[in-house]
Structure 1
Amino acid sequence: MFGSLTQRYYESDPARAALPFGGITVVLGGDFRQILPVIPHGDRAEILGACITRSRLWNICKIFILKRNMRLNKRTSQSEIDEVNEFAKWVLQVGDGNLEGGEEAEKSFKEDGIQVPMKFCDLENDNSVENMIRSIYPDFVENSSNAKYLSDRAILTPTNQTVGHLNSLIVDMIPGDAVTYYSVDNAEEFAGTEDDLQSAFPIEYLNSLSIPGMPAHDLKLKVGVVVMLMRNLNQTLGLCNGTRMIVTKCLKYCVECEVISGTFIGTRHFIPRMELCPSDSVLPFKLVRKQMPLQICYAMTINKSQGQSLKTVGLFLPKPVFTHGQFYVAISRVTSPGGLKIFIDDDRGFPTNITQNVVYKEVFYALPR
């Protein structure tokens, strides 16, 4: 569609062929406080170099600055309005890297250390998984099939390993029998012979691979489990990457899911197995995994939570965030300051309110003050 439109512009005005995007107005949206382009094993310079601010197109862009936080709910009383404004200001200070952490924070994390306000942390109780689940998902068993209850809350954490552990514990709490769906894995585009492939990379090895952006080999589901779609299936029906759904039926070769967020809330769809390939992999072959593009999402990584709006967010940091914008993204998912709870562990595993906020301030240099 875009190509045919550009072609018509060329035919009507040949001079447009020399203009970027054929002279068509293109709107780009984004927040440089959020997570920057992901470069596997990339350092700070490589990540900043992949930003659009380093592109030759950046000089011809007209920049519009949006200043109002539309995610925070409107308040009625003056005290609530002041609380929301104070929280919005704190979130922006976190995103800009302008918070002063104090002597103890600077001692632990140098210039990246910050001190989280005590109202968001609970230093009296241990940050055990049980306490955290109980805090973010109160009365979970009674509400395990309540779509509204489930769509309003999530636990966020930096790494996939922690996410998998939390999700498996929460799924075990749901009443009912679990159904495990196993993937069919194959290796393609291997430089050696078929015998070399089978001997070097047996099926058991392929099944053990856990690659970001790919569903697990053994997907354990129950009726009532909340899942997130990992691929765009049908955008006209709201089946997009990041759509949250609840499992309503576990069939032999597919599952029926009900959408619990977005415009198409309440609609039901069958999610089948399909062949999936990692977009970027260091493997010496192309892994093809036939599996349902779903992942359990009671807990999710901070990167995956971008775009979500939640009433209750539990930020679990057994280890500090490790790249630009992660802490900002996590705390800016909530619709009210009262819905944010932060669980931070220090080096000894004790609860604390001091953590690391990684901000690459160089990315703001190309933006208007």
Structure 2
Amino acid sequence: MQNRLIAEEVSYNVKEMKVEHDKLYSNLNVEQQRVYDSVINNVNSKKGGIFFVHRSGGCGKTFLWKTLIFHLRSEKKIVLHVASSGIAAVLLPGGRTTHSRFLIPLDSDEYTIAGICHGTDIAELLQYTSLIIWDEAPMQNRYAFESIDRCFRDIMSAIDSSNCYKPFGGITMVFGGDFRQILHVVPKGTRADIVNIAFNRSKLWIFCELHILKQNMRLHAGNSEAENKEIEKFSNWVLDIGNGKLPNLNSDSPECDADIEIPEEFLVHADTDPIDEIIKVTYPNLLENFRSSQYLKEKAILTPTNVVVDDINTRVLDKLPGKTYTYISTDVIIDPPSGDDDVEASIPVEYLNSLNMSGIPKHNLVLKEGSVVMLLRNLSQINGLSNGTRMIVKKCNKNTVECQILCGGHVGTTHLIPRIYMVPSDKKWPVQFTRRQLPLQICFAMTINKSQGQSLETVGLYLPTSIFTHGQLYVVVSRVTSNKGLHILICSERGGTTNITKNIVYEEVLYNLQYVNVLIG
């Protein structure tokens, strides 16, 4: 009898999958067709292989994924779609985050192995799987891929002992992403630490067949010649930022940490209140439109740090009319150190309440109906409730909040978000504690890192301080679908605003792309 997971993966309507595939397939460009043929031939031959599709924004990566998925599912084959971030996972049907799907340890190293055991439903599902698509792969550290590789070799060797010698146990793997974007975050890590932990420094990288998508699908999409020239100019500028090719205005700074000039067309100037100005530019006519899902889902303010994010979100929330609802958390110390009976007495609950940290909601969560929020935990990925999902608050109840999803494959659906228990993953605190709170934070503004994987029509970049790691500026400018939607406000150290900012690019990450079987259209 098939287990539950296999039944879910073969429950798709074959005829519908075939119709959807045929519509998409007819619109593949030459580069996408090359990837499609290579992957499908590899799946049909059952010899296993690793592919990496490197692309920039607008090159039709999601379009390609859907074509592959619909083709194989129309043949009743199993395709697993996973992503390194929750927001990228919900863009395609059946998407899951890699950690939840494959049980990857949060603190992976060169010795860890994913927690999939023989005889479980997920192990049996893998043995029937024809293809795994892993999106936003560069966001993950190389040890996660290696732990999955060791696990898959073990699971697949139960079918054929020779599979233990094949990468990923002989399952065809397609990875996608852009190494110009932000890489895996290494707390207090140096440039060398970040580069060394990237996927293309893994021992698995030599087995990858690399395909580079360069054709911008936004060009010639019913646009005029003038519009195409404008799109091409903007796309080339974005790529120059990602590749670190713009002129360095400061000869004393290293090339990886260049001072670059932002064109005037993207700049926002403010002499007195820069936060208020970036809010006005990003959310014009806010009070007339703040209850519109279409208006809110297309816009966001991005900034490097959580402290500034909180300031902006508080300012926007204060502008909105309506009743304010405050949700108070319950914070409790868990597993106090043995032999220290006074630890709970020495650390008052007020201290726990005061702690604000990334990935954990505040002790005092202030909401209004109509405000934009972001989900901080994976609640139900099947229903689109993943870490990073943006939603609009429709109704504030006593112990729950009714929210409508703004993005992804489940846009428009409404869900009740309850209080849950959350334990901070950061080890720097003196004791471990649990916080029971709604897993939400206000999200008119978000950090640059959190925006990765999202597409927006209007982005306001607020830089009271400079960006601080590889790919952050590139991520911001590649979030927007056109140059008209990008607005950048850079605060000057001397007061007012400026047109100069830093662009950090670790070029050795990009050089490493050549040490594989490169296929360029």
Q: TM-score when scaled to structure 2?
A: 0.67
Q: Deviations over 1:169-195 (max 9, x none)?
A: 100111111111011112223324463
1:245 aligns with 2:391: yes
CA distance in 1, matches of 2:270, 2:437: 43
What 5-or-longer segments of structure 2 have no aligned partner?
1-120, 128-153
1:305 to 439, 445, 451: 451
2:433 to 263, 287, 290: 287
Number of the residue aligned with 2:21: none
1:97 aligns with 2:217: no
Task: Look up the SS of the partner of 1:33 in the other structure.
Answer: coil
Shift of 1:17: 1.8
Moved more, 59-68 or 288-297: 59-68
Distance verdict in 2 for CA 1:145–1:193, change over 3 Å = farther
Does the 8 Å contact 1:158/1:302 carry over to 2?
yes
Does the 8 Å contact 2:220/2:228 carry over to 1?
no
1:357 aligns with 2:477: no
Question: What amino acid does structure 1 have at the position aligned with 2:162?
Answer: A
Distance verdict in 2 for CA 1:15–1:155, change over 3 Å = same
Moved more, 281-290 or 231-240: 281-290
Tell me the matched-pair count: 367
CA distance in 2, matches of 1:276, 1:30: 30
Does the 8 Å contact 2:274/2:489 carry over to 1?
no
1:34 aligns with 2:181: yes
Q: Deviations over 1:3-58 (max 9, x none)?
A: 22347742442111222221111222221101111011111111111111221111
Number of the residue aligned with 2:294: 148
Question: What amino acid does structure 1 have at the position aligned with 2:501?
Answer: T
Does the 8 Å contact 2:452/2:475 carry over to 1?
yes
1:332 to 469, 474, 478: 478
Question: What amino acid does structure 1 have at the position aligned with 2:172?
Answer: T
2:275 to 122, 129, 142: 129
1:83 aligns with 2:230: yes
Distance verdict in 2 for CA 1:318–1:69, change over 3 Å = farther
CA distance in 1, matches of 2:508, 2:202: 15
CA distance in 1, matches of 2:274, 2:199: 41
Q: Which has the higher contact order (CA 8 A, sep 6+)?
A: 1
CA distance in 1, matches of 2:501, 2:389: 30
CA distance in 2, matches of 1:185, 1:176: 29
Question: What amino acid does structure 2 have at the position aligned with 1:218?
Answer: N
Number of the residue aligned with 1:261: 407
CA distance in 2, matches of 1:323, 1:73: 34
Q: Deviations over 1:69-108 (max 9, x none)?
A: 4578945111110000010011011001111033xx4467
Task: Look up the SS of the partner of 1:165 in the other structure.
Answer: helix
CA distance in 1, matches of 2:342, 2:201: 43
Moved more, 271-280 or 301-310: 271-280
Number of the residue aligned with 1:116: 262
Distance verdict in 2 for CA 1:37–1:348, change over 3 Å = same
Number of the residue aligned with 2:123: 3
1:173 aligns with 2:323: no
Does the 8 Å contact 2:271/2:496 carry over to 1?
no
CA distance in 2, matches of 1:12, 1:332: 43
1:65 to 191, 212, 217: 212
Distance verdict in 2 for CA 1:71–1:151, change over 3 Å = farther
CA distance in 2, matches of 1:109, 1:53: 24
Q: TM-score when scaled to structure 1?
A: 0.94
Moved more, 347-356 or 153-162: 347-356
What 5-or-longer segments of structure 1 have no aligned partner?
none
CA distance in 1, matches of 2:406, 2:313: 18
Does the 8 Å contact 1:35/1:324 carry over to 2?
yes
Root-mean-square deviation (CA, aligned residues, Å) is 2.1
Shift of 1:218: 0.8
Question: What amino acid does structure 1 have at the position aligned with 2:223?
Answer: T
Task: Look up the SS of the partner of 2:230 in the other structure.
Answer: helix
Number of the residue aligned with 2:43: none
Number of the residue aligned with 1:44: 191
CA distance in 1, matches of 2:479, 2:303: 13
Does the 8 Å contact 1:72/1:334 carry over to 2?
no
Task: Look up the SS of the partner of 2:358 in the other structure.
Answer: coil
Q: Deviations over 1:180-225 (max 9, x none)?
A: 1011112223324463321332111111111111111111001111
Question: What amino acid does structure 2 have at the position aligned with 1:322?
Answer: F
Shift of 1:231: 1.3
CA distance in 2, matches of 1:336, 1:19: 43
CA distance in 1, matches of 2:419, 2:253: 47
CA distance in 1, matches of 2:216, 2:183: 20
CA distance in 1, matches of 2:162, 2:365: 54
Question: What amino acid does structure 1 have at the position aligned with 2:374?
Answer: M
Does the 8 Å contact 2:268/2:278 carry over to 1?
no
Shift of 1:237: 1.1
Does the 8 Å contact 2:333/2:344 carry over to 1?
no
CA distance in 2, matches of 1:10, 1:109: 49
Does the 8 Å contact 1:34/1:326 carry over to 2?
yes
Does the 8 Å contact 1:155/1:300 carry over to 2?
yes
Distance verdict in 2 for CA 1:345–1:72, change over 3 Å = farther
Moved more, 281-290 or 120-129: 120-129
1:201 aligns with 2:347: yes
Shift of 1:286: 2.0
